[in-house]
Amino acid sequence: MSGGPSLMDSIFQRSLEDLIKSFRLHLPGGEPTVISKALDEIRREIRSTDLTTKAAALQKLTYLHSLHHADMSWAAFHAVELSSSAFLPHKRAAYLAASLSFRPSTDVLLLLTNQLRKDLTSTNHIEVSLALECLSVICTPDLARDLTPDLFKMLGSSKNLVRKKAIATTLRVFSQYSDAVRVCFKKLVENLESGDVQTVSATVGVFCELALREPRAYLPLAPEFYRILVDSRNNWVLIKVLKVFAKLAALEPRLAKKVVEPICEHMRRSGAKSLVFECVRTILSSLSEYESAVKLAVAKVREFLVDDDQNLRYLGLQALSIVGLKHLWAVLENKEVVIRSLSDADPNIKLEALQLVMAMVSEDNVTEICRVLITYALKADPEFCNEILGFILSACSRNVYEIIIDFDRYVSLLGEISRIPHCQKGEEIENQLTDIGMRVEDVRPELVHVGRNLLIDPALLGNPFIHRILCGAAWVSGEYVQFSTNPIELMEALLQPRTNLLPPSIRAVYIQSAFKVLTFCLNVAFLPNEAAYSSSSCPINEYSASPSFAGHESFADCEQDKFLNLRVLSQSVKAPSVKYGGDTAVNHVKTSASLPLRNDILTQKSVDKMFTLVKTALAPLVGSHEVEIHERVCNILGLLELTQNEITGCFSREKRNFESEELKAYEIIKMMRDVFSEEIGPVAVSARDRVPIPEGLVLEENLHKLETICSDVQFPISSSFFLGRPHSGERDGVSFFNRPIIEVSESSNESTLLTEHRKRHGLYYLPSDKKEVVSCEYPPANDIKMQDDITDDAEDLVKLTEQSLVRKKKPSQAKPRPVVLKLDEGDEISVAAEKPESKDDMVSGAVQELLYGSDAIPPSTQINSSDKLSSKRSGKVSEVNENVGNVWKSERGTPSSRKSKHHSHGKEREHRSSEKNVEVREENGQSNKQKSGHRHGRHKARQRADGVTNVVSQTPVIPDFLL
Amino acid sequence: MNEDLKINITSSILISSSVYEVIIARGEAAGAHSKHLWSRAEKVSNFIRADSILGPDARLVYKTYATLYFVFIFDTNENELAILDLMQVFVEALDKCFSNVCELDIVFNFNKVHTILDEIILGGQVIETSSSEVVKAVEESYRCSSSNSSFTPVVRERLQRNYARNQIHSWLA
């Protein structure tokens, strides 16, 4: 039965009701078959010549389209066909189908034009309504252009029902076809004075929408709006007028002054919450400089805040956050209510309250507020808990920890946050831990302490959300291990078996930290004298000698140091502050005294134990397929192997003078210490881009060469360890390794090889080595830079005039605020502060032209090209608006002329509309596509006659009569 | 469905086909935000920021009347509390048109619901805020339309009966 529809089909057609019933009866999951069966049926029925059959089919299809997303674009023509039916239900079904399914791209859309016009001019107002309802949805520029004359007539219709619908439709027509403004605008303005409330409401609604886009254009209408504001008693109208004034008042202070009193009056008198709220919002957002009005508004807000209705409470909080930007006192006044709202059952209210609380944060109350918030976070559901934590973290870190005075407390707060069960802010906390470590020197002991507490808790390793925090903790503990009270314990924590729960990238950080801890311990065990010596040789070192353990250990990341300091370290081991590359970058030696280690911690036994621990924990990982882990394990085991033999002896010796002994292990450890001796500072976000790509390095290089590197790594352990220390070989030509290694003999050659190797390696490692300062991996970054760029580098920062770069806060409290390193730029993420293009659009351009009078532009420049339709904003108007400014002044000169024009208009109306009728008829005779230029010309001519042509000044002057 | 919403979100209040979905297809997975809505607790505020789903400034207000769920979407050009009132107007109008509206009325009369809504909101603009005016307009519109058709239901029923009778006759013969 694929042929045409038969009489049978018509008779036995299922109605829409039958279809819906079948949907309700079908078995679960059977929906697709019901749909496809129905669609088959509809395809057949819709071709029927019987309009009732067709209408029923179209209705069924519309239903399927609305609820089951069935495609109905193929039936567009049937909808057009049915719309011509004289029978209203058919017409209604057709227009409904059209408004739900037609898109600007629908090709039969233009076929609907004539039918729409016919219905718009119909004497039956129901038909007119149907056409308007459809037009307001499917309007395209072509439709708008062709139907504007009809719409114009309806704006003056005697039937209120038709008129208000026509008014609402104009908004859509304007946005599609800006020239319609020239035709319809005056009629629209006249409707503001209509006696029918709904007509006024619709008109004000249209102006409210229009004013949102370009408020300035509607300033001349302010007197009309003002009259409505004072006279109208309809809440809907008043709300819309208030919205218009909220836009206009910001542009014209005199207007603001004028409207503030009526608005307050409404606020006092009205019983409608919606109107009161709108008044409050208007005052708080646009008229906030009128103290008494704001006071009144805040009092109303307080009423909202204590209301039983949660919607009012929510809106009250929103109003508070508007006012909080300018009048913080309003928020502080309602502090208790806001804090109480944090435990409200309503998520909206909680969130709004949280935002307000964070707005109140200052350096005086940050601790207190964080304390309060954390107790709330502990009680809250996971989602809100994380909202709170996110707010705390972002508020405290704002502008480089601007509001934090007591960093020790903040760091322990971070530790506390990490232990909140629902905490999912791992990444943010990790970043802050490392960031604070690098920026704030004084807080490092506390930081290590907090890190240790996190690391030694095996339970935390089971929670994947905390892994990132642990990563940060591991890094600070390794980096600042000299502040650790018990490195052995730290080592145990870093190597505990449960670390296998960590993802490889984080585990690599753990192992790297273990490497740093090991180096530190060995250094302390081997070289107390050396350490003491080097620290005393350092002029800025305030290290107070502790008898057995040199607290002065400067650790930096090997990745960065190895290559930066190739030359440096070969020149001097003893001077902790070194220069390289002839530039100004100098190692910064940590000045803070480390916590004195208890002598008994690092005994021979404990060091032996540590060695065993490292071996047992890491030996199985040598075969790891994760290159991050593999590399680091090899490093640490290599160090172990090299030093193990001598370590046993060192504790038995009374005198620990190793220099004379020339132990190889001693050299290695000294070297390692120096490798870690450079401090890592914060790096500007943009710093990485400034690193010049070294010559010969091809970043887009195919990584197949990595194969050779990987085979390198699987060499005997010592070789991979050795890779890091070419300079030692260079320095005195002595091989420190038990085994003869080929690279050593050709030291210079080897060092270049290594550099190459590390570069590639480093590149390969970038993502996981996020801790390690990327920019420092390339040797002479500073050489090439311009002098004024230098400050971007972290190391430079440290050395260069600290006063100028470090913002010192006057200590207002007992505890002075520690120095926080800041970068000149890069700390503030440079938001591309590109303002969106001016909000002018074609419509407001045309409106301005009408209201202010502008004749410089031929109408043709404003013809909307059909491809720009969808976007409301268009750059083309700018030329229109440029000219508008000129007219401001000229307007001012003839205030009465405009006013009179306005009022005389009403009298003219009848005459005008008949005139238009003629015009329309003319136009219908012409081809629809053709633009009737003469109409605009005439319009123009009338404006010119009003005498607003003298274009004088560029400065916009508000017409006085407004105010 | 979100796409549809985006296409239409040019006006301040958006009532597209999709909103009906939310009204009618209660409990079904009609879309991301309807799911979100049904999961909300009782006695909480009725507003939801919908920026993520519907674009900047979009707000969503929902309200439950017995078994009927309504969702309106609007932007900063509307007053939140006024929209809540408007929902009340809409529900009153439905109630009067269907005399004690229930979900079945909406399910089986989706085109009439459209007509009612068109009387309240047109092109994104609120054009009528009195439910009795709305009902008057809708009733007038439907009164005019109950006449001449080639196959009115009565005619069709008669034809169906005749056809069945003929079938039986021919089968007997």
pLDDT digits (tens, 9 = 90+) for B17-44: 333 333 333 333 334 444 455 555 566 7
- Average pLDDT in the B85-100 region? 89
Which pLDDT does position B36 carry in this prediction?
53
Considering the domain architecture, whether residues A757 and A877 belong to the same structural domain is answered as no
Task: Name the burial class of residue A812, with classes exposed (0-12), middle (13-18) and buried (19+) by CB atoms within 10 angstroms of its CB.
Answer: exposed
> Mind giving me the DSSP string for A324-388?
HTT-HHHHHHTHHHHHHHTT-S-HHHHHHHHHHHHHH--TTTHHHHHHHHHHHHHHS-HHHHHHH
Confidence of residue B66 (pLDDT cuts 50, 70, 90): confident
Contacts of B126 in chain A (CB under 8 A): 201-202, 205, 236
From the CB of residue A597, how many other CB atoms can be counted at a distance below 10 Å?
22
Residue with tokens 């109950």: B146
Distance from CA of B147 to the nearest CA of A (A): 8
Are A512 and A479 in contact by the 8 Å Cβ rule? The answer is no
> In A538-590, which ranges are continuous DSSP H helix?
558-564, 566-571
Contacts of B46 in chain A (CB under 8 A): 311
Confidence of residue B54 (pLDDT cuts 50, 70, 90): low
CA A396 vs CA A38, A341, A342: distances in Å: 61, 22, 19
Residues 4-63 (A) with a CB less than 8 A from some CB of B:
10-12, 15-17, 20, 24, 50-53, 59, 62-63
Which pLDDT does position A166 carry in this prediction?
93
Backbone angles phi, psi at A406, to 5 degrees: -95, 95
Considering the domain architecture, whether residues A867 and A747 belong to the same structural domain is answered as no
Angle at A251 between CA A249 and CA A254, to 5 degrees: 60
pLDDT along chain A (963 residues), means of 10: 56 81 79 88 88 90 84 91 90 91 87 92 91 91 92 89 91 89 90 89 91 87 92 92 92 90 92 93 91 92 91 92 86 87 85 86 85 87 88 87 87 89 88 89 90 88 88 91 86 88 90 89 70 38 35 37 35 36 36 44 75 87 85 87 69 48 68 76 74 78 69 46 37 38 40 50 40 36 36 34 34 59 53 42 73 51 39 40 41 41 43 44 43 43 40 43 43
Q: How many inter-chain contacts (A to B, CB under 8 Å) are there?
A: 161
Considering the domain architecture, whether residues A651 and A507 belong to the same structural domain is answered as yes
CA A725 vs CA A644, A669, A743: distances in Å: 18, 11, 11
Q: Is residue A886 part of a domain?
A: yes
Overall domain count for chain A = 3
Does an H or E element contain A784, and which? helix A781-784
Q: Is residue A471 part of a domain?
A: no
Which pLDDT does position B152 carry in this prediction?
55
What length is written for chain B? 173
Considering the domain architecture, whether residues A757 and A902 belong to the same structural domain is answered as no
Considering the domain architecture, whether residues A756 and A858 belong to the same structural domain is answered as no
What length is written for chain A? 963
| Domain closes at, from A287, A302, A333 | A333
- The answer to whether B82 contacts A51, with C-beta atoms less than 8 Å apart, is no
Are B112 and B143 in contact by the 8 Å Cβ rule? The answer is no
Helical packing angle, A504-526 and A528-537, nearest 10°: 90
Which pLDDT does position A739 carry in this prediction?
38
Which pLDDT does position A896 carry in this prediction?
41
Are A521 and A556 in contact by the 8 Å Cβ rule? The answer is no
Distance of alpha carbon A838 from alpha carbon A835, whole angstroms? 8
CB of B52 within 8 Å of any CB in chain A?
Answer: no
The residue in chain A having the minimum alpha-carbon distance to the alpha carbon of residue B86 is: A236
Angle at A663 between CA A659 and CA A665, to 5 degrees: 115
Q: Is residue A20 part of a domain?
A: no
For the question of whether the overall pTM of this predicted structure is more than 0.90, the answer is no
Q: Is residue A621 part of a domain?
A: yes
Give me the residue from A67, A205, A345 closest to B41, CB to CB. A345
Considering the domain architecture, whether residues A534 and A654 belong to the same structural domain is answered as yes
- The answer to whether B124 contacts A171, with C-beta atoms less than 8 Å apart, is yes
| Domain closes at, from A333, A350, A383 | A333
Which pLDDT does position B5 carry in this prediction?
34
| pLDDT beyond 60 at B148 | no
The most confident of A909-918, B55-64, B92-101, by mean pLDDT: B92-101
Residue from A66, A87, A138, A247 to probe the interface with B (highest B Cβ count within 10 Å): A66
Task: Name the burial class of residue A119, with classes exposed (0-12), middle (13-18) and buried (19+) by CB atoms within 10 angstroms of its CB.
Answer: buried
Whole-complex ipTM: 0.77
Query: Which of these ranges, A706-720, B42-56, B64-78, has the smallest mean pLDDT?
Result: A706-720
| Domain closes at, from A333, A367, A402 | A333
Give me the residue from A66, A205, A312 closest to B126, CB to CB. A205
What's the token pair of residue A95? 């227009």
Considering the domain architecture, whether residues A510 and A657 belong to the same structural domain is answered as yes
CB of B24 within 8 Å of any CB in chain A?
Answer: yes
| pLDDT beyond 80 at B78 | yes
Q: Is residue A901 part of a domain?
A: yes
Considering the domain architecture, whether residues A638 and A754 belong to the same structural domain is answered as yes
Which pLDDT does position A713 carry in this prediction?
54
Residue from B108, B125, B134 to probe the interface with A (highest A Cβ count within 10 Å): B125
Considering the domain architecture, whether residues A857 and A760 belong to the same structural domain is answered as no
Sheet of strand B47-49, all strands in order from the earlier edge strand to the far edge: B13-14, B68-74, B59-65, B47-49
Q: Pick the residue with more confidence: A936 or B109?
A: B109
Please state whether beta strands B121-122 and B125-126 pair in parallel, antiparallel, or not at all (unpaired): antiparallel
Q: Is residue A552 part of a domain?
A: yes
What's the token pair of residue A151? 């719409």
The residue in chain A having the minimum alpha-carbon distance to the alpha carbon of residue B5 is: A100
| pLDDT beyond 50 at B8 | no
Q: Is residue A913 part of a domain?
A: yes
- The answer to whether A349 contacts B45, with C-beta atoms less than 8 Å apart, is yes
Considering the domain architecture, whether residues A667 and A530 belong to the same structural domain is answered as yes
The residue in chain A having the minimum alpha-carbon distance to the alpha carbon of residue B108 is: A17
Which pLDDT does position A6 carry in this prediction?
60
Q: Is residue A867 part of a domain?
A: yes
Distance of alpha carbon B62 from alpha carbon A196, whole angstroms? 31
Considering the domain architecture, whether residues A858 and A746 belong to the same structural domain is answered as no
Which pLDDT does position A752 carry in this prediction?
52
Q: Which of A848, B117, A108, A382 is nearest to A116 (CA)?
A: A108
Strand segments, DSSP code E, in A581-733 are: none
Are B120 and B90 in contact by the 8 Å Cβ rule? The answer is yes
Are A538 and A577 in contact by the 8 Å Cβ rule? The answer is yes
Give me the residue from B24, B48, B163 closest to A67, CB to CB. B24
What is the domain range of residue A279? 210-333
Please state whether beta strands B68-74 and B13-14 pair in parallel, antiparallel, or not at all (unpaired): antiparallel
CA A851 vs CA A216, A453, A855, A947: distances in Å: 11, 71, 12, 13
Considering the domain architecture, whether residues A221 and A324 belong to the same structural domain is answered as yes
Q: Is the dihedral of CA A853, A858, A860, A862 positive or negative?
A: negative
